[in-house]
Amino acid sequence: MAAISSPTYDPKTTAENLANAYVAPSKAILDRQTADATAKAAALTKLGSALSAFQSTLTSLASSTGSVTSTKASFSNPAVGTGTASATAQAGNYAFFVKQLATAGQYGYAIPDNITGAAGTMRIALGSVSTGGPNYIDVDLSAANTDGVAALSAKELAAAINAAPGNQSRVTASVMTINQETRLVLTSTATGEANEVTGIDTSSLGNPDLAAALDDSNKTLMTKAKDAIVVAGGKAGTEIQQASNTFSVVDGVKFTITQAQGAGDADVTLTVGPDNNGTAANVQKFVDAYNTLQGVIKTLTAAGDHSLTSSTGTSITADDAAFYNDSGLLNLRDRLNGLLRDASS
């Protein structure tokens, strides 16, 4: 007679199965809530980015220099200069004659290769302000010698000048070799006579050889600093002289001159008027930003498959968007549409 066997009873497995069955409904709810919270957080981030981009576009169009309606400024001879105009600039024609461009000054100093000994401090004067005035650069040379060689080189001098705390990029020092002569070259960053290097005070230098090399008698003019000069009203008009090549003499308009005119050249006309292409681009910029925002709202409130539910029901299905049927987002969508209709009516 065959033996009859019965399955082995495992109390541990049975307990685990019973526990899992007991917590399964609660776990399913928590899983759904976690997934929903994660989806809503991602959706809020996406909505925030879209709103920020839309706001940036509106801010740009509503700024003092921007508007949906664009205005442009241009010269009759584009080689003479370029212009920009704000939305508040008044249309008109203005005659100018470009007499002189502003240039940055540049000087060179012949530096011997065998300057040794204590260096001290030197002061570079800028513009017409005398040494000791506010427009200067103090350069401490006590730590300028960095290559371990006893002699202080022109390259080390240039590095010390460029790194001087008071320089703030007002003067650029470089090194050139011309006819086998090493030169320390000082170039003003800004154009105009008021910004050129007018001299170097060497009275605090501890090295007479270096002081002699940086004396005015050893200075070579490489590029003369000049102010820009334009004549408003044409050749017979009023001269306007300044350090920069960019002028703001017409309200709401800036223009930058790029080429001086010859004595026999005709006046140039600066025309300020509507910029149809710019206006069209601004309108398109707004339309794109608006449509992008509305597209994001549509995506975040999209309904899933409700074919098995009431057509008028509001119950959420698994494939509904994170903010399906959300009254706040739907009100934002409707408000944006209303504002656009009001603005166009």
User: Domain segments of the chain: what residues?
Assistant: 38-70+275-305+315-344, 71-102+228-274, 106-223
| Predicted local distance difference test score (pLDDT) of residue 65 | 57
Q: Are 161 and 141 in contact (CB under 8 A)?
A: no
Residues 6+ apart with CB under 8 A from 331: none
Q: What are the strands of the beta sheet with 219-223, ordered from one edge? A: 171-178, 181-188, 106-110, 219-223
| pLDDT surpasses 50 at 130 | no
Confidence of residue 133 (pLDDT cuts 50, 70, 90): very low
| pLDDT surpasses 70 at 208 | yes
Q: What digits encode the pLDDT tens for the residues 264-322? A: 999 999 999 998 998 898 889 889 999 999 999 888 888 877 666 554 555 556 678 78
Confidence of residue 129 (pLDDT cuts 50, 70, 90): very low
| Predicted local distance difference test score (pLDDT) of residue 39 | 79
Q: What is the pTM assigned to this prediction?
A: 0.70
Q: What DSSP string runs through 263-274?
A: TTPPPEEEEEEE
Give percent of the chain with pLDDT exceeding 70: 88
Q: How far apart are CA 286 and CA 264, in angstroms?
A: 47
Per DSSP, 226 falls in state B
Q: What digits encode the pLDDT tens for the residues 33-88? A: 777 788 788 888 898 899 999 999 888 887 755 668 889 999 999 999 999 998 88
| Predicted local distance difference test score (pLDDT) of residue 187 | 97
Burial pattern 188-208, b for ≥16 Cβ within 10 A else e, equals bebbbbbbbbbbbbbeebebe
Residues 6+ apart with CB under 8 A from 86: 64, 65, 66, 71, 252, 253
The residues with which 257 forms a beta bridge, in sequence order, are 81
| pLDDT surpasses 50 at 7 | yes
- Pair of tokens at residue 342: 């009001």
Give percent of the chain with pLDDT exceeding 90: 49
| Predicted local distance difference test score (pLDDT) of residue 29 | 76
Return the amino acid letter for 192.
G
Average pLDDT over all residues of the chain: 86
Region of 17 (left: φ > 0; alpha: ψ -120 to 50; beta: rest) is alpha
Q: What digits encode the pLDDT tens for the residues 323-344? A: 888 888 888 888 888 888 876 6
| Predicted local distance difference test score (pLDDT) of residue 132 | 39
Confidence of residue 206 (pLDDT cuts 50, 70, 90): confident
Nearest to residue 72, comparing CAs of 279, 312, 230?
279
| pLDDT surpasses 80 at 96 | yes
Q: How far apart are CA 93 and CA 272, in angstroms?
A: 6
Residues 6+ apart with CB under 8 A from 333: 294, 297, 298, 301
| pLDDT surpasses 50 at 114 | yes
Q: How far apart are CA 301 and CA 130, in angstroms?
A: 70
| pLDDT surpasses 90 at 200 | yes
| Predicted local distance difference test score (pLDDT) of residue 316 | 53
Burial pattern 246-274, b for ≥16 Cβ within 10 A else e, equals bbeebebbbbebeebbeeeeebbebbbee
